Amino acid sequence: MESKPPLPPFTLDSAIQKVRLAEDAWNSRDPARVAQVYTEDTRWRNRAEFPVGREQVREFLARKWARELDYRLIKELWAFTEHRIAVRFVYEWRDDSGHWYRSHGNENWEFNAQGLMQRRFASINDQPIQAEQRLFHWPLGRRPDDHPGLSDLGL
């Protein structure tokens, strides 16, 4: 059976690593890559959508990144237990009309023994911003290691 380390039970270090790996994957904006970290029967709540299974997740992500252009994301560990992780996140993106947004949210993740995410519950709020208010300016892709995180940015 496939696995995605780090595996539960999580420690502080492994939970932080799991969050950064998720951030890196989402910043790739590659729906197929991101979908591989979820179980075949994963269950999500993302705003008003409820994808079930990897294929629905992949389709959801393809639609998301076709609409949310120049997407850049930062995730931060909020809390964890043996097989669950709570994350807060912020991402910036623009629509096809050039309007910029900063989206703030929280996620609750539950993992199986192989480290695949079986449940993901997200709550997200979008804040319109001006282009000059953007805080995430790295080239598209992985956030550089020396870029400030959410707490450092006062988010």
List the chain domain ranges: 12-133
What's 12-133's CATH class? alpha beta
Predicted local distance difference test score (pLDDT) of residue 1: 73
Examine the pLDDT at 33 and tell me if it is beyond 90.
Answer: yes
User: Would you put residue 100 in left (φ > 0), alpha (ψ -120 to 50) or beta?
Assistant: beta
Per-residue pLDDT tens digits for 101-140:
999 999 999 999 999 999 999 999 999 999 999 999 999 9
For the chain, the average pLDDT equals 98
Extract the tokens encoding 49. Answer: 């959508």
Examine the pLDDT at 35 and tell me if it is beyond 90.
Answer: yes
Per-residue pLDDT tens digits for 68-97:
999 999 999 999 999 999 999 999 999 999
- The 3-state DSSP class for residue 122 equals strand
Examine the pLDDT at 50 and tell me if it is beyond 90.
Answer: yes
* Alpha helix segments (H runs only) across 7-135: 12-28, 31-35, 54-67
Contact 35, 57 (CB under 8 A): yes
